[in-house]
Amino acid sequence: GPLERRRCRYLHTGRACCQMVEVLLAALILVCSSVSTGSVGGYTGLPALGGIYYYQYGGAYSGFSGADGERAQQLDQRFYLLKLPIARAAMAVGGCLLVFPCVLILVGVLRVPLHFPTWLLIECTLDIVTAGGTVPALYYFFHSLLRVYDSSVCKEREQLYQSKGYQGFWCSLHGAEIAAGLLGCLAAMAYLLSAGLAVREYRTVHEQKQKPVQL
Which pTM does this prediction carry?
0.80
CA atoms within 13 A on the CB side of 164: 19
pLDDT of the residue at 64: 66
Q: What per-residue confidence (pLDDT) applies to 146? A: 94
Please give the average per-residue pLDDT across 123-133, as a whole number: 95
Q: Which residue has the higher pLDDT, 41 or 110?
A: 110
Other Cβ atoms less than 10 A from the Cβ of 3: the count is 8
Can you tell me the distance from the alpha carbon of 75 to that of 80, in angstroms, rounded to the nearest whole number? 8
- Average of per-residue pLDDT across 23-41: 81
pLDDT for 67:
79
Residue pLDDT, tens place only, 50-85: 444 344 434 455 566 677 778 888 888 889 889 999
Per-residue pLDDT tens digits for 138-184: 999 999 999 999 999 999 988 888 887 777 788 888 888 999 999 99
The per-residue DSSP string of 144-197 comes to HHHHHHTSHHHHHHHHHHHHTT--S--SS--HHHHHHHHHHHHHHHHHHHHHHH
Cβ-based neighbour number of residue 102 at 10 Å = 14
Distance CA 159, CA 39 (A): 19
Question: DSSP letter at 38?
Answer: S
Q: Identify the band that residue 4 occupies on the pLDDT scale cut at 50, 70 and 90.
A: low
- Could you tell me the sign of the dihedral formed by the alpha carbons of 154, 134, 17, 92, in that order? positive
Are 32 and 177 within 8 A, CB to CB?
yes
56's CB contacts (< 8 A; 6+ apart) are none
Residue 210: predicted pLDDT: 73
Question: Any idea where the domains of the chain sit in the sequence?
Answer: 2-209
Range with the poorest average pLDDT among 35-39, 61-65, 80-84, 189-193:
61-65
